[in-house]
Amino acid sequence: MAKKTIAILFGGSSSEHEVSCVSAAAVADHLSPELYDVRLLGITKDGRWYLFSGSTDEMRDGSWENNELNRKAFISPDTSLKGIVLEGENSFDVIKVDCIFPVLHGKNGEDGTLQGLLHLSGIPYVGCATLSSAVCMDKAVTHTLLSSWGIGQAEYLWFFADKYQGEGRLKIRQKIEARLGYPVFLKPANAGSSVGISRVNSEEELDAAVQKAAHEDSKIIVESLVVGQEVECAVLGNENPQASGVGEIAAAAEFYDYDDKYKNGKSQLYIPAHLSEEVSEEIRHTACRAYRLLGCTGLARVDFFVRDGKEVILNELNTLPGFTSISMYPKLWEKAGKSFSELLTDLINLAFERKHYQ
C-alpha cells in the first residue's frame, strides 16, 4: 500500500503558538514512517507560512523559524490543486497532500477559521469542521447551546468587553453580584489553554480581570466557582463517537492553568478518576452527547467538574486538545490500550471517513 502524504500544520497566530509547536512535534515523532510521508508546514506568530524540513527539536525550542531551508508555502483553497503551494525562484510548485493534521491550539487554529480554509481546499483534515470548531471555541455560544439541551453547567453570564465602562460597568458588576456572587472565574470567551483567565474573589478585582481577558477577546464570560473534582474525558469518532475512561486532575496551581497543562507538569493526573462507576458512566455519556449535539467529528476533550462526588457539571469542549508528553488526551487513550501512534492513525482514518464538511 502506497504511503499517504500527511501535512502537519503547526505554530499559528495565537497566544498558544509555542505549545502548538510542541504538540505538533510529538505528533510528527509518533506518525508511522511505514504508513505516512510527513510534511511540516509551520505558521509564525505574525502569520507567515513556511515548509519546514528540519528536526522536531527545532519545533520544540522555536528555532524552526530561522532554518535556512525554510520555503514559503501555503495550503491552496483551489480544490483542483489539493495540496501545498510551494514558492520557487521563478514559479510555484504543488505538493499533493492526502490529509492535513492541523495541530494548532487557540485562535486561528481551532476556532473554525483554519477549518474554513481546509474545507475550501477539498483536502480531508483531522478534527472538527468549521461550525463545530467555532461553536466550541466560543464559550458563550457553547454555554447557551448546552443550556438549551439541559446539560448541567456552572452558572454564568457574558458581556462584550467594550460595555465595561461608565453605566455599563456598574450594571455588569451588579449582575455578577446578583446572579453569581463571589468568587467567580472570568474568562475571554474565545481563547484556550486557560489563557486570560482570572479567579476573582471580590468586586475590587474585577477591573484587572476584565482588562486581562479583554486582551484576548472582545467577549467575556463570567462563571460561578464550582468546588469539586476536575475531570476530563477523551472522545474519538464521527457519527458514532467513543469515550475513553475518565481522568482526574489535581492542579498544582489555584486552577488548572497554562503552565500546569503544558510547561511544568506539576499537576497530578489520576487515570481512572476517583469516582464511582455510575458517575464515570454519566460523564462518558454526557461527553458523547455534547460532542454529537455540537457537531464534533474526529476528536475532542470534554472537561467536567464533579461536585460532592456525584453532580456532573460540564465545563468545556476542546476540539484540538494538547498532544504533548503530559497531555491528558493521548494519556487517556493510552490507558485504554491505544498507543500514541495508533491514536494518530485512527484520527487520520476518521478524517478520510467523514462524510460531511460543514
Residues 54 and 142 reside in one and the same domain: no
CATH number of the domain residue 19 falls in: 3.40.50.20
In a domain, 340, yes or no: yes
Residues 340 and 233 reside in one and the same domain: yes
Q: Distance between CA 94 and CA 76 in Å, rounded?
A: 9
Residue 183 structural domain:
156-224
In a domain, 253, yes or no: yes
H/E stretch holding 99 reads strand 99-102
**pLDDT at site 274:** 96
Which of 170, 196, 224 finishes a domain?
224
CB 24 within 8 A of CB 10: yes
Residues 289 and 141 reside in one and the same domain: yes
In a domain, 330, yes or no: yes
State yes or no: pLDDT of 6 exceeds 60: yes
The structural domain count of the chain equals: 3
Alpha helices in 35-104 (DSSP H): 56-61
* pTM for this model (two decimals): 0.91
- What's the average model confidence in pLDDT over 69-83? 96
Residues 202 and 174 reside in one and the same domain: yes
pLDDT, one tens digit per residue, over 12-68 is 999 899 999 999 999 999 999 999 999 999 999 999 999 999 999 999 999 999 999
Residues 77 and 140 reside in one and the same domain: no
Which of 224, 247, 282 finishes a domain?
224
Residues 48 and 60 reside in one and the same domain: yes
Question: For residue 142, which of 196, 184, 104, 187 has the smallest C-alpha distance?
Answer: 187
Q: Distance between CA 131 and CA 33 in Å, rounded?
A: 32
pLDDT, one tens digit per residue, over 264-280 is 556 789 999 999 999 99
Residues 142 and 267 reside in one and the same domain: yes
